[in-house]
Structures are given as C-alpha cells and as structure tokens.
Amino acid sequence: MGKKTLSRELNVMNESLKAFLALNEAITLIHSNGNQSLELKQSATDLSQSIQLCTDEMRQSAVKLEQLLKNCYQDLDYAEEVWNSKARILSIPKDEIWEQIAQISNVDVRIRNLRKKCETEVVQEIKQAWAHRFTKLKMQWFTEKNTGKPKPELGLSDKDGLIKSLERELMAQDRQIILAIKHNIELLSEDFSIFKIHKLDSHVSFLESKYKNNLLSKINDNHYRINFFFNKKNTVSDPLIDIIKPSWEAFRKDCFLVVKKEKFDDFSNTVLLFIESSLLPRLNKCFNLAISIVRFYLTFYDDLLEKQNRYEQEIPEKWQSEKQSLDQLRSQLDKVQTEIDTILNSISTS
C-alpha cells in the first residue's frame, strides 16, 4: 500500500470517526431527554455499545499503524543517512585508499610467501632433524659395540634403555617443533603488524551507521582473534608424544620382550608422518586467520573505491533529485502520522 493510499484511507477513517462521535452525541441527548421512552433509550444504549466496539477497533488499528509507521521512519532515516554518506565517502583522498590497498596486498603476499616457506623448508627441516635423531639412536642401540655390525633386534636388557632414549628424543623433537611454530608465528605477527588499523577505523567512520557498526564489530572481532593467536604463550597445545600416543603405546607393547629393528623403523616412519600431518595444520590455523582478515580489509577498500568511482559519475542534478524524493517521502509520512494522531486524540477525548 502506498503512502498516499494509506493517507486517504486514514482520512476516510477520520470521517467515519466523526460520524460515530456525532452518533454518540445524539445518543447522549436521547438519554438526557426525559420524554423519550424506555424502549428508545434501551435501543440507544445498545447502539452506543456497538459504536464503542467500532471506535475501539479504530483505536487499536491506529495504535498498530503508529507502531508500524516507526519502522517506515527508521527506513527513511537510513535512506537519508546513505545519501548523506556519499559526500563523506567522496571526501576520502583516493590516494589514501590506493595506499591502503597496496599495503594490504603487500601484507597478503608476505603472509602467503611465509606460508609457502613453512610448507616446504620448515617442515623439511623438522623431518630431517627427526631423521638425524633416529639415525643416531639406531647407530647407538642397533650396532654391535665390538664388531660394529648391525643388530636385528634388542634383548630385554637393552629395551628399557632404548625406550627411555627414544622418549627423550621425542621430547627434544617436540621442543624443536614448538620453537619452529612460535618463530614463524612471530614472523607472521611482524608481517601483519605493519598494517595501519587506525586508518581503516577512520575510513569506516565515513559510512552509514548500519554498515559501519557491522564492520566495526567484525574489526573488533578480528583484533581479538589475532591478539589471541599472536600473544598466546602456549601456541602449541598438544606435545608430539601426546599426538602420537596410540602409536607410541602400540610400539611399547610390541617391544614387551624384544625390540626388532623393523618395528623401530616403522615407528620412526610413523613419527615422520605425524610431524608432517600435525605441524602444518597448527601453523595453518594462524595463516588462515591472518589471510582471511587481510582479505576482509582488502574487500572493504575495493568496495569503498567502487563506491567512490560510482558516486563521481553521478551528476549534481541526480543528487538533488534524490534529496527531493527523500523529502517528499518524509512529508507523506508526516501526513500519515498527523492523521493517526488526530484519530487517537479524538478517541481519547471522546
């Protein structure tokens, strides 16, 4: 229903209300006239009750319309705010936007390069470190001391010593993994910290409130999540020996009496697989978060630049026409509000 149609219907309702009020006045005269019969007075009373039901229905309808009209005003307020934001968005120097886009893109490239390095060099270094530890253990325990020949298995007397040595090496390997993860997260934090958040907050403030509040909420959430990852002391939650616990327990169970070299080799290969499958996911949590936030910022500036370019193409006459349309809509809403006020005031004073 259009605003003009609604206004006309409220006009009709107002006219109907005037008729009902006139009927009430006539009924009052009938009741005050001592010459009228009891039957007529009773009919007037019945009519008065029916009229009251009609005016109550009108009041309820007017009250409901008044509540709904508030939504119309809110929508119009937002439309006017969007219109006003055009000039504010155009006031942002375009070189600032391009500077931010270039800076964000640079951060994005640096983070992705660091991620690629972790996927290749860092993982390879950790795997090589474990291979070196394993080879050293193998030489120590599976070599005859007198002859230097390899031993196919260890007996019960050497088993506990190997298990303890292996456990120490796993713990040492775990410390190396933790240091590698923390070091690369620190590098990631350094790359991310060059981005000027305060300038983005300033640019967001030029937008209309609904969009601005939504963006600020997301930005604050991003700040919290980044600080949680970058400032978290215990970045690695589960040590390696806990991650491989089922395999570790199975290996110790198989080595109850003797330790076969083949089983030892198999366990070492299992550790390598776990290193590769667990190290990257731990780092990827941070990389994925950082990249998603950077892309979020980049999307914001792309949208801002698109709006600027579009607004620059709009002629002043179009802006003036839009303002006139908004003013006309507000005028029509005000007329509807006036009609509703008239109905509510008339009923409350009747």
pLDDT for the residue 348: 64
Nearest to 203 by CA among 215, 217, 193: 215
Alpha helices in the chain (DSSP H): 3-32, 38-90, 94-117, 123-141, 156-193, 197-204, 209-231, 240-243, 245-254, 261-313, 316-349
Query: Which helix (H) or strand (E) element contains residue 260?
Result: strand 259-260
Q: What count of other Cβ atoms lies within 10 Å of the Cβ of residue 306?
A: 10
Mean pLDDT of 155-163: 83
What is the residue-averaged pLDDT of the chain?
80
Q: Could you tell me the two tokens for 33?
A: 């006239």
| Residue 185 or 111, more confident | 111
Return the ∠ at Cα 328 (arms to 324 and 332), rounded to 5°: 175
Mean pLDDT of 79-95: 91
Is residue 320's pLDDT more than 80? yes
- DSSP string of 223-251, one letter each residue: HHHHHHHHH-S----S-HHHHTHHHHHHH
pLDDT for the residue 178: 80
Q: What is the pLDDT of residues 184-240, one digit of tens each?
A: 878 877 777 766 666 787 888 888 888 888 888 888 887 777 777 666 544 555 567
pLDDT for the residue 234: 44
Q: What is the pLDDT of residues 327-337, one digit of tens each?
A: 888 888 888 78
Backbone angles phi, psi at 159, to 5 degrees: -60, -50
Q: Could you tell me the two tokens for 325?
A: 């349309």
| Residue 123 or 282, more confident | 123
Q: Tell me how far CA of residue 73 lies from CA of 2, 61, 335, in angstroms.
A: 14, 18, 12
Amino acid symbol at 241: I
Looking only at Cα atoms, what is the longest distance across the chain?
140
User: Of 4-8, 46-50, 248-252, which one has max mean pLDDT?
Assistant: 248-252
Query: Which helix (H) or strand (E) element contains residue 153?
Result: strand 153-154
Q: Could you tell me the two tokens for 330?
A: 């507000």
Mean pLDDT of 142-159: 82
Lowest mean pLDDT: which of 89-98, 133-142, 189-198?
Answer: 189-198
Q: Using CB atoms within 10 A of its CB, is residue 10 exposed (0-12), middle (13-18) or buried (19+)?
A: buried
Q: What is the pLDDT of residues 235-257, one digit of tens each?
A: 555 567 777 888 888 888 877 77
Q: What is the pLDDT of residues 251-284, one digit of tens each?
A: 888 777 788 888 889 988 988 888 877 777 777 8
